[in-house]
């Protein structure tokens, strides 16, 4: 049965729809350590939530559970109301993941990497899709160079192309700014703003408040595996965001 709820969409209109992503009491334990403690998160289609929190708060674990890379110890992840673990392998076509690792093969060229993943996802008209993405992400000139010759920023843009290749409805980004210089960071900001205007649901984790200030429509703060704050993003200055973050962390500890 599809989970449905009364949510406030991006246009501020209350409507009854199935959530694109929902986590119910999501708990993940590694031995005696609890990385996630009963996280409940609901995202409508088209929402862009940025999740911040200190190191070890469980941000990456949350994304790994939503991506199906890690099995929850308790609780559930639902995609459009269907439990992820009972949806078979086809549900993975709806998810794209950008990690701080690129998930690419260094010895293959950009085109070969994208062609490999495209075939794995049965992408139609693959060559034109690869061409389109490489052009959008400014990599067309280096399309036939091995990935190991790319700068960190170029590799990250190619990783985004890989995640978008099969047109997923949900894009998960785990600290995508890791290791990027200022210019590459600005480029990634531009790409994310472009993605924000699309109809995809985005979850991005970061510990950089400057990034939070620039992208996303909703803000969540994860502290010690618990969702300590979750609200639509207010137009706050960097200082205001920093104050809010400190208050939430302080209240949670």
Partner 1 sequence: MRAYLGKVAIILWKDVISEVRTREMLSSMLVFALLVTVIFSFAVEPGSVDMMDLAPGLLWVAFTFAGILGLNRSFALEKARNSLEGLMLTPLDRSGIYLAKMLGNFVFLSIVEAVVLPLFWVLSNLTLFPLAVVLIVPLGTVGFVAAGTLFAAMTVNTRAREVMLPILLLPVSVPVIVAAVKATGAVMAGESLAAAANWLQLLAACDVVFLVVSVLIFEYVIED
Residues in touch with partner 1 (CB under 8 A):
28, 30, 64, 67-71, 89-93, 95, 97, 99, 101-108, 112, 116-117, 119-122, 146, 162
Q: Which H helix or E strand runs over 157?
A: helix 152-164
Minimum CB distance to partner 1, residue 104 (Å): 5
Distance, CA of 133 to CA of 64 (rounded, Å): 25
Minimum CB distance to partner 1, residue 124 (Å): 14
Minimum CB distance to partner 1, residue 119 (Å): 5
- Complex with partner 1: residue 85 or 239, whichever CB lies closer: 85
Backbone φ and ψ for 16, nearest 5 degrees, come out as -95, 110
Q: Which two tokens stand for residue 178?
A: 């890791």
Minimum CB distance to partner 1, residue 11 (Å): 31
- Complex with partner 1: residue 44 or 63, whichever CB lies closer: 63
Which regions of 87-159 does DSSP assign to beta strands (E)?
A: 95-98
- Fill in the DSSP letter of residue 94: G
- Complex with partner 1: residue 165 or 212, whichever CB lies closer: 165
First to last CA, the chain: 38
- Complex with partner 1: residue 101 or 239, whichever CB lies closer: 101
Distance, CA of 105 to CA of 162 (rounded, Å): 11
């Amino acid at each position: 049965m599809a989970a449905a709820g009364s949510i406030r969409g991006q246009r501020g209109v209350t409507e009854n729809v199935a959530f694109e992503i929902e986590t119910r009491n999501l708990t993940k334990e590694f031995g005696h350590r609890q990385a996630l403690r009963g996280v409940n998160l609901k995202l409508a289609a088209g929402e862009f939530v940025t999740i911040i929190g200190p190191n070890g708060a469980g941000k990456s674990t949350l994304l790994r559970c939503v991506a199906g890379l890690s099995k929850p110890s308790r609780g559930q992840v639902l995609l459009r109301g269907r439990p992820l673990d009972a949806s078979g392998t086809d549900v993975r076509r709806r998810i794209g993941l950008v990690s701080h690792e690129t998930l690419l093969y260094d010895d293959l060229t950009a085109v070969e990497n994208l062609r490999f993943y495209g075939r794995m996802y049965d992408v139609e008209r693959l060559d034109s899709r690869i061409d389109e993405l490489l052009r959008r992400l400014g990599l067309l000139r280096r399309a036939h160079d091995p990935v190991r010759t790319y700068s960190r920023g170029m590799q990250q843009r190619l990783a985004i192309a890989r995640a978008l290749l099969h047109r997923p409805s949900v894009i998960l980004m785990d600290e995508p700014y890791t290791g990027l210089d200022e210019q590459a960071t600005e480029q990634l900001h531009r790409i994310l703003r472009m993605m924000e205007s699309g109809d995809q649901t985005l979850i991005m984790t970061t510990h950089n408040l400057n990034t939070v200030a620039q992208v996303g429509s909703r803000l969540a703060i994860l502290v010690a595996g618990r969702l300590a704050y979750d609200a639509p993003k207010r137009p706050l200055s960097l200082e205001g965001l920093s104050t809010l973050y400190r208050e939430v962390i302080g209240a949670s500890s």
